[in-house]
Structure 1
Amino acid sequence: MTTDARPDPRRIALFLLLMVLVGLNLRPALSSLAPLLVRIKADTGLSPLAIGALTTLPVLCLGIFAPLAPWLAKRTGPENTLALALGLLILGLMLRGAPPLPLLFGGTLLVGAAIGVAGTLLPALVKRELPGGADLMTGVYTMALCLGGALGAGLSIPLADAMGSWRWSLVSWGLLAAVALLAWVSLMPRAPRNLPAPPPGGSMRELLGQPLAWQVMLLMGTQSSLAYIVFGWLPTLLQSRGYSEAEAGWLMGASVMVQLISALGAPWLARFGRDQRPALLLVLGCVAGGLWLLLQADVQWRWPGVVLLGLGQGGSFSLALTLIVLRTANSRLAGKLSGLAQGGGYTLAAMGPLAVGVLLQLEVSMGTVTAVLLLIVAAAAAFALLAGRNRRLDLDQSGKLFTH
């Protein structure tokens, strides 16, 4: 290893490739379930509330297990921890396709745990590998997440039809995860020996005392709640408006595919301003417009709704992840903030799909469901005005955490 501080282009290219491959696996396990819910309900007899719990479980596990990622990374290294998470993801995907109904929930739990750990590690690795361009690299990673989500949503029904079973459709995504695990274990980058260690300090207790950390976490939670409501319930909501299950799945898949554009473009756009507030409000406005067009407007507005929702959700998630690296001074703080923001944020986000399940169980009108979703958008916008300011968590000479 040379002592040259300049980044190695080959190392960056390899890391970028691996990051995209891993990112492709962190959403199909979630988005592939939603288009199949009608079939799962018909086959298993699960109630809407039980289906709501099934869509909530992985998101809740994202929140519960995300804070474990920094702890595991400290003991086994972030590279080995990510490999462990990919192995756990494969196991979960295999189990939830097994016939016993409890394994559907157990496998879904493992899937959520694996994605929670892997998704928390990647922002810190990005900060380590390319600190100067971490925001744009986070956009590339988010683009991979969106592509994976789109593939999961769009191919779910065709795979079930081709394989003759929704169970095999769910299991099939384990092959993509196996490819990612093999590539990561073979080619994963190790921490450069000449890389100076981040200064000590910045405990989780100190982090919890910083309002900025809470603002980033609450923004992550509210915008993620909308994302997982879409992953978990949008096809069902669209089917209640008269769309076929295949068309509803493709509409959601198209919306997630549109996210590729804003996932990559939003961090670049955010560089033009002094802070990220204008960009955040723009993308959240798109989310609100897209939801309203899809759930309330005439069906002829479905494609503008798909585009607006996709642009908004891709941009809001990309910017929320970008804030983790922009609001921290080094990779260690980025890892801790990532654990807090994604752990607490996804725990909060899990309430969204469950709430929609409760609303559908109560047979409320589509107008009421839409109003609830728009209230969540408004809450996300309020937190964006705080978290989007140009501030940063750093350590002073004594190792004490502060915000400046």
Structure 2
Amino acid sequence: MLAGLVLAALNFRPAFASVSPVLETVRQDLGLSRAGASLLTTIPVLCMGIFAFGAARIGDRVGLERGVLWTIVLIGIATAGRLAGDAAVVLFATTVLVGIGIAVGQALLPAVVKRYFPDRAALVTGLYTVGFNAGAAVAAGATVALESAFGGSWPAALAFWALLALPAAAVWSLAARGSPGGARQGGVTRSSLPWGSPLAWFLGLFFAATSCLYWSVLTWLAPMYQDEGVSKGEAGFLLTLFTFVQIFAALVVPVLADRSRDRRPWLALVLVMNVAGLAAIAAVPLATPWGFTALIGFGIGGLFPLVLTLPLDYSPNPDAANRLTAMMLGIGYLISALGPLVIGALRDATGSYWVPFAALAALCLTMLASALLLRPQSRAEPMSTGTPGSP
């Protein structure tokens, strides 16, 4: 099952991470405006928010394992469909389908972790988060080379990543055969989301801030350094460093966090690193760009798996974890999709990146204060609790 989680995660980023390196070519070939072309990366994030809300119902009806299998198949078919992506309507349609598959699939994974690895939730979450980052890094780094290998065909280069679905689907087909099917018992539907739970809203907003940090830095780090006079090549290497340090942090931080029931010290550590790195980039960006980038890479890379673990900490069983995760991801991605737009607007309004990156540092300070509410004695209590820290 551990291999299945990692293989599934490898499929959840390449379909849109592969677009960025060839985006200008795609835009020119299809006659898109820059705003229209940006939808190819914005649409999946919006879908990850909108359709995450339905993940709990899907898991309830068909079972967690079959639900993950179906999403992998959907992502694979949609990605393969990009062979005909030289028609704009096909490219955008496959982008929507990929977004739906990612939304449902990644919302189901935490419940799978809760079912199979309840005592090692942070470690296993960290491992499949590495799959997210590795899939994105490899796709972003190899798509241009694939385009050349396929005779300049960017549709073929984008469709190539459908091959990742084959081993993942094979593993999850075996898992689905041995699964009990849907989680409905006696005709009772348990898939309603905990809309009335302050805890669920708290976690949704906390994840929104986490995701906003990730997408904003991913979008604006390289342009910010180019604005400071750094070459396009070096700015690209900084983004690569950011990605690979995240992978390292996603492996290390969860291992350490699983040694304690209290997530707050580790949340505080990574958030302080983010505050320091973002504030330094805002104030003295050229002092040590590689050091600052590594600092926020480790901070965000460690933060993401910790936050994905929180619904498991506060859920008594996989069904509750499924519902709480679906709501957290839905709220989080819908809000965080606006993050890069807000940062860009701040840059346009102020004429520099000082205010946008200082704002991200302030966001981390707010998260640091909020994380103090996540007391360990509340773990695995019903989701009807009033606040994260209530007894």
Question: Structure 1 length as normaliser, TM-score?
Answer: 0.82
Q: Distance in 2 between matches of 1:173 and 1:228?
A: 22
**Alignment-derived partner of residue 7 in structure 1:** none
More displaced 10-residue stretch of structure 1: 114-123 or 219-228: 219-228
Partner of 1:328: 315
Contact persistence 2:51–2:330 (CA under 8 A): yes
CA distance in 2, matches of 1:306, 1:225: 17
Q: Counterpart in 2 of 1:391?
A: 378
- Does 1:32 pair with 2:18? yes
Query: How far off is 1:343 after superposition?
Result: 1.1
- Counterpart code for 2:324: L
Distance 1:42 1:88 in 2: 28
Deviation at 1:330, TM superposition (A): 0.9
Aligned to 1:133: 120
Alpha carbons of structure 1 residues 392 and 352: separation in structure 2 relative to 1, 3 Å: same
> 1:254 is matched by which residue type in structure 2?
L
Partner of 1:190: 178
176-185 or 215-224: which moved more? Answer: 176-185
- Label 1:115 to 1:305 Cα distance change in 2 as closer, same or farther (>3 A): same
Instruction: Give the count of matched residue pairs.
Output: 382
Aligned partners of 1:388 and 1:46: how far apart in 2? Answer: 49
What are the superposed Cα offsets for residues 240-291 of structure 1, whole Å, 9 maximum, x if unpaired?
4455555444432332121122212222333455522221122123234444
* Runs of 5+ consecutive residues of structure 1 not aligned to the other structure: 1-14
Distance 1:389 1:35 in 2: 43
Contact 1:38/1:236, CA 8 A, preserved across alignment:
no
How far apart in 1 are the matches of 2:255 and 2:348? 42
Q: 1:66 aligns with which of 52, 66, 70?
A: 52
Tell me the equivalent position of 2:137: 150
Give the alignment partner of residue 302 of structure 1, picking from 273, 286, 289. 289
1:124-174 Cα distance to aligned partner (Å, 9 max, x none): 011111222222221222222222222233334433444424443322211
> Which residue does 2:77 correspond to in 1?
91
Are the structure 2 counterparts of residues 99 and 359 from structure 1 closer, same or farther at C-alpha, using a change threshold of 3 Å? farther
1:370 aligns with 2:386: no
- Residue pair 2:271, 2:299 contacting (<8 A) in 1 also: yes
Question: 1:160-179 residue pairs with structure 2 within 5 A?
Answer: 160-163=147-150, 164-179=152-167
Q: 1:297 to 1:402 in 2, by over 3 A?
A: closer
- Name the aligned partner's letter for residue 169 of structure 1: A
Q: Spell out the pairing of 1:205-224 with structure 2 (5 A cutoff).
A: 207-224=194-211
CA distance in 2, matches of 1:388, 1:33: 41
C-alpha spacing 1:326/1:201, structure 2 compared with 1 (3 Å): farther
| C-alpha distance in structure 2 between counterparts of 1:50 and 1:257, whole Å | 30
Identity %: 36
Distance (whole Å) between structure 2 residues aligned to residue 295 and residue 155 of structure 1: 31
1:190: Cα distance to partner?
3.0
